[in-house]
Structure 1
Amino acid sequence: MFTSPFPDVEIPNLSVFDHLFGSLEVASANHIALVDGATRETTTYGELVRQIEAVAGALAARGIGVGSVVALHSPNRPAFAVAFHGILRAGATATTVNALSTAGEMATQLADSKAVAIIAADMLFAVSAEAGDLAGVAADNIISIGEVSGSTSLADLIAEAYPAPEVHFDPATHLAVLPYSSGTTGKAKGVMLTHRNLVANVAQSAPIIGVSADDRVLAVLPFFHIYGMTVLLNISLAQRSTLVTMARFDLTDFLSLIQSERITYVFIAPPIAVALAKHPLVSEFDLSSLRTVFSGAAPLDGIVGGAVAERLNCEVLQGYGMTEMSPVSHASPRGRTDIPLNSVGLTVPNVQCRIVDPLTGDDIEIPAVGVSEPGELLCRGPNIMVGYLGNDEATRATIDADGFLHTGDIATVSSEGYVTVVDRLKELIKYKGYQVAPAELESLLLGHPQIADAAVIGVIDADGEEVPKAFLRLQPEATLTGEDIMMWVADRVAPHKKVRQVEMIDFIPKSASGKILRKDLRSKGALV
């Protein structure tokens, strides 16, 4: 077992609201908390707290509080923070919905979580209303962010000016949020995270990630995903930073906001890093205000990270986590140039880890010098979920009797404590008895100047053997053929790691948090 090199931190026995805003100083009340990247409207910390408390009061007046679940369906905008923390301040539990969900997908989440109300962005209101109808949510309990004819709006709730309710619950057991995750296997499941889970992860991660009140943070990764929820939203608000929101990623808008808003810190996923490293548009903007780029949600290749650092003259860091861990378990601290760029950094305080052989479950030895053999990463700490909602079997399959969460990710750890994620356990390609990590081949492919983006999966060839297949998006001027790529890779890897099929495609499908949607590629690959 290995632990954090940092001392344990105290986990306050507080609700999320009390931890983030309970000690709001007079000096911070007038500091800008949120900027709408589309309209440039601003919200101060004092205004934010008043709006949150008014929303909590209005929800309580409607009988929504401890024991209630409220769905939140919105892209990033300042009102998301108001609605999200208003739900939690009322004592209710928030289940955040992917902004890209269909009405059917959302209805499944509403029914599973037993949501009694929905707060939905105006542009998503029709989908939310249809989902609510399918799941039996009362039409009067579907509240719009923005004006929608015939519906109560978030502004209406605030204008009602009800005082925030007195609520009483145990932060260690009361559910704050119910995000949905596929976890290590299977369909999406409700991840039960308590107030203590979220408060713990802010306390564990904030000192390492290093966001400060002087930072202007660009919030492009979705708040409805746990990475955006904890790392962008909650940590930034806890540190009294200024958050500039983006409803969706557009490279031109992203670069323009960094330039005009003098952004100092951005949290991204690897696809954005690839764009920052390779896209010619980047050179057209003044990005000199940017000090730190932090990547998460999927492994970042060290070559790509180095290219971003050099091109933007900034620090590039990487972290790791899962929805089931609230989410951060590992991060590279600011100012640590000794940590390799392909590493997800060091274990955060209060977390214990093991790396085990996925076949035997035996612990893999951590060497006195060098790097361990790869194995499945296990984590235990105060940020680990209570379990999956209504699914004890899946919970037992993920959290063992000793309290260790089995991440399903293959990782190594160095003698210095640097953890590097190799790939998902279930994504490993089994070629003639050898294990091939798609992420390793993707990293290599992204190093080719004519390749704009890449994904690798295992497909079954004519002989019934699983082989690595690369899906590639080429640069506009590229002249590469599939044969060229296979020969180029073959010169650089062991024989069993060779790419044996190549397909050129217009884009690599990815989730809102930046993970490659390999299932979409598998269905496509099966037809080729």
Structure 2
Amino acid sequence: MIYRSPAADVEIPDVTLTEHLFAGARARGAKPALVDATSGEVLTYAELADGVAAVAAALTELGVGPGGVVALVSHNQPRFALALHGAIAAGAAVTPAGALLTAGELTGQLVASRATVVVASEAAAAKVAEAADAAGLEPSLRFVLGEAPGFRPFAELVARGAAAAGAGVPRPDVDPRAAVSMLPYSSGTTGAAKGVMLTHRNQVANVEQNAVGWPLGEDDVLPATLPFTHCYAFTLVLNAGLRAGATIVTLAPYTFDGFLRMAADHRITRAFFAPPMVLAIATAPPGAVERHDLSALRVGICGAAPLDLDVVRRAEARLGCSIRQGFGLTEAGPGTHQTPDAEFATTPAGSVGRLLANTQARVVDPETLQDVPAGERGELWVRGPQIMAGYLGDPAATAAVLLDDGWLRTGDLVRVDESGCFWVVDRLKEMIKYKGYQVAPAELEALLLTHPQVRDAAVVGVPDPEGGEAPKAFVVPEDAAAAPTADAVAAWVRERVAPYKKIRAVEFTDEIPRSPSGKILRRLLR
């Protein structure tokens, strides 16, 4: 059975992402596009439009354009948008990388994505330099959003391109349906990180699809607390906000009280949450939320991981507004489901809402690949204009999830009720989601197996009151009589991975349960 969106299809313009987002930017003039809550930096729509054109012109002069890849490693700040959309306007793809990644992890992404240019924040510059050296990036093509040894100032790139942009630079010759605009890395459904090829059309489509149920306008003020390097934030906050002419307020580093102060001071109208943020609101000490004037906040949106209904209700009571859930995955740009503003009262609490416009779904038995009866659980398959073009350089992984007729196998188990609302009930995929971040067990297992005192290892996700789910390692020591302590193993891993990937618990065992084919039987470890 094919489920279809109850919303009417929307027209997807056959234009580049740049054309779609910036068509009316200069006309908005001095209206703030991005504001940094910490530094007070303001980037107006006119400045953003001019800056994007300048960066595109400068990159074009450097030979960076269609087919090229620019890596962007930074926390949220106004200049992130300049670098991101300047590179896309030049016809290149951007591979965003979280500022929490280690130098080794960054090296892997730089090499795998085939990036030739890197733009880094000052805070990330040292490890980006190490990664760029290891990946063999040309020193003259390393830029920093500020100043740092071994990097050229990003401001120099903007200034270099300003004159050329003013003289009129030819638009890159790209096909919006085929050209990749974003190349985020996702653990997907098979564990290893892969470059997700999102085309201009994928991104334009998802902005328009989400706008049907979650409309934004020029009077909206949006918080950018979720990282722009994640598909959730760069699509639903940055791109959707710019398309609507909203003001986007960045905050880094994120703190709970800092977010509440920002929401009050900047009169935030629509907040985008990950589950840990909602949990923090629900469980904060008495008065911690209430002392801030949040009267401008009309609605909260939550995604990235499942959310406990009781937590939602408590958070709503303290915020004084409803929190609506949605669903998606990086491979879908990311949105596939939402609880529309107009349907909140009629959407069952706990569901992730209904399909976005232009989107179809099937619920399939993962063993037989046959559709299951309505109301029964099965793997979610989705199809629509937002679905990725595939995984970069990995046709086998692409074929495993993206079928010839356009269906994307999500790896998530869902059920659908009689009203067309979807409920996420489990995951087929082995990926762990800690505070909305993706943690691949296979990556941690491969790392553990390089430890000289570890013979075998398996990693599973276990319930965590703060993160939702956290990595736990089962370890077979090389020598039981001289085994390292659990704390020592956890510390060894912690030194080699981003903070959200660290092992939260270690249990020693005599044997890792495996199938005859050698696959780890994780269900026996949970």
The TM-score range, normalised by the shorter chain, is 0.7 to 0.9
Cα deviations across residues 179-236 of structure 1 (Å, max 9, x unaligned)? 1001011210011111111111111112212222211100100000100110111001
Q: Select 1:392's aligned residue among 390, 395, 403.
A: 395
**2:9 paired with 1:8:** yes
User: 1:23 Cα shift?
Assistant: 3.4
SS of residue paired to 1:283: coil
User: 1:286 Cα shift?
Assistant: 2.1
User: 1:119 Cα shift?
Assistant: 0.5
CA change 1:60–1:286 in 2 (3 A) is same
User: 1:252 Cα shift?
Assistant: 1.1
User: 1:425 Cα shift?
Assistant: 1.6
Give the aligned partner of residue 19 of structure 1: 20
User: 1:264 Cα shift?
Assistant: 1.1
Give the aligned partner of residue 228 of structure 2: 223
User: 1:358 Cα shift?
Assistant: 2.0
Cα deviations across residues 363-422 of structure 1 (Å, max 9, x unaligned)? 1122xxxxx111111001111111111111111111123221010111111111111111
Matching of residues 43-54 of structure 1 within 5 Å: 43-54=43-54
Q: Select 1:402's aligned residue among 401, 405, 411.
A: 405
Which amino acid is 2:4 matched to?
T
- For 2:461 and 2:82, locate their aligned partners in 1 and report how far apart those are by CA, in whole Å: 46
Give the aligned partner of residue 381 of structure 1: 384
Give the aligned partner of residue 353 of structure 1: 361
CA change 1:154–1:470 in 2 (3 A) is closer
Give the aligned partner of residue 304 of structure 2: 297
- For 1:526 and 1:208, locate their aligned partners in 2 and report how far apart those are by CA, in whole Å: 49
The answer to whether the 8 A contact 1:302-1:340 is kept is no
**2:422 paired with 1:416:** no
Give the aligned partner of residue 69 of structure 2: 69
User: 1:14 Cα shift?
Assistant: 0.4
| Percent identical | 43
User: 1:157 Cα shift?
Assistant: 1.3
User: 1:149 Cα shift?
Assistant: 4.1
SS of residue paired to 2:290: helix
**2:253 paired with 1:252:** no
Give the aligned partner of residue 506 of structure 2: 524
- For 2:58 and 2:196, locate their aligned partners in 1 and report how far apart those are by CA, in whole Å: 27
Q: Select 2:179's aligned residue among 174, 179, 196.
A: 174
- For 1:468 and 1:95, locate their aligned partners in 2 and report how far apart those are by CA, in whole Å: 27
- For 1:285 and 1:100, locate their aligned partners in 2 and report how far apart those are by CA, in whole Å: 30
CA change 1:327–1:526 in 2 (3 A) is farther
The answer to whether the 8 A contact 2:25-2:245 is kept is no
Q: Select 2:335's aligned residue among 328, 335, 348.
A: 328
- For 1:351 and 1:222, locate their aligned partners in 2 and report how far apart those are by CA, in whole Å: 26
Which amino acid is 1:381 matched to?
G
- For 2:84 and 2:465, locate their aligned partners in 1 and report how far apart those are by CA, in whole Å: 38
CA change 1:155–1:352 in 2 (3 A) is same
SS of residue paired to 1:524: strand
- For 2:461 and 2:389, locate their aligned partners in 1 and report how far apart those are by CA, in whole Å: 37
Cα deviations across residues 487-507 of structure 1 (Å, max 9, x unaligned)? xxxxxxxxxxxxxxxxxxxxx
Give the aligned partner of residue 79 of structure 1: 79
**2:230 paired with 1:204:** no
Q: Select 2:292's aligned residue among 270, 279, 285.
A: 285
Which amino acid is 1:297 matched to?
A
Cα deviations across residues 465-493 of structure 1 (Å, max 9, x unaligned)? x999654569xxxxxxxxxxxxxxxxxxx
- For 1:33 and 1:221, locate their aligned partners in 2 and report how far apart those are by CA, in whole Å: 17
For the aligned residues, what is the CA RMSD?
2.6
The answer to whether the 8 A contact 2:276-2:466 is kept is no
Give the aligned partner of residue 337 of structure 1: 345
The answer to whether the 8 A contact 2:129-2:150 is kept is no
Give the aligned partner of residue 317 of structure 2: 310
SS of residue paired to 1:421: strand
CA change 1:376–1:208 in 2 (3 A) is same
TM-score under structure 2 length normalisation: 0.81
The answer to whether the 8 A contact 1:305-1:341 is kept is no
SS of residue paired to 2:236: helix
**2:115 paired with 1:115:** yes
TM-score under structure 1 length normalisation: 0.81
Which amino acid is 2:104 matched to?
G
Give the aligned partner of residue 476 of structure 2: none
Deviates more, 1:145-154 or 1:387-396: 145-154
CA change 1:51–1:107 in 2 (3 A) is same
Deviates more, 1:307-316 or 1:178-187: 307-316
Which amino acid is 2:103 matched to?
A
- For 1:40 and 1:339, locate their aligned partners in 2 and report how far apart those are by CA, in whole Å: 39
The answer to whether the 8 A contact 2:221-2:246 is kept is yes
Give the aligned partner of residue 482 of structure 1: none
Give the aligned partner of residue 151 of structure 2: 151
Gaps of 5+ in 2: 435-440, 442-458, 468-492, 494-498, 510-524
CA change 1:426–1:175 in 2 (3 A) is closer
Give the aligned partner of residue 319 of structure 1: 326
Cα deviations across residues 311-352 of structure 1 (Å, max 9, x unaligned)? 211021111111100000001111321112311111001111
User: 1:284 Cα shift?
Assistant: 3.0
Which amino acid is 1:98 matched to?
G
Q: Select 2:189's aligned residue among 175, 184, 195.
A: 184
Give the aligned partner of residue 483 of structure 1: none
CA change 1:90–1:361 in 2 (3 A) is same
Cα deviations across residues 410-440 of structure 1 (Å, max 9, x unaligned)? 1111111111111212459xxxxxxxxx99x
The answer to whether the 8 A contact 2:66-2:91 is kept is yes
User: 1:57 Cα shift?
Assistant: 0.9
User: 1:526 Cα shift?
Assistant: 5.3
Give the aligned partner of residue 60 of structure 1: 60
SS of residue paired to 1:317: strand
- For 2:323 and 2:201, locate their aligned partners in 1 and report how far apart those are by CA, in whole Å: 30
Which amino acid is 2:389 matched to?
V
- For 1:472 and 1:152, locate their aligned partners in 2 and report how far apart those are by CA, in whole Å: 43
Give the aligned partner of residue 242 of structure 1: 247
CA change 1:320–1:248 in 2 (3 A) is farther
Gaps of 5+ in 1: 367-371, 429-437, 443-456, 458-465, 475-508, 510-514
Give the aligned partner of residue 97 of structure 1: 97
Which amino acid is 1:71 matched to?
A
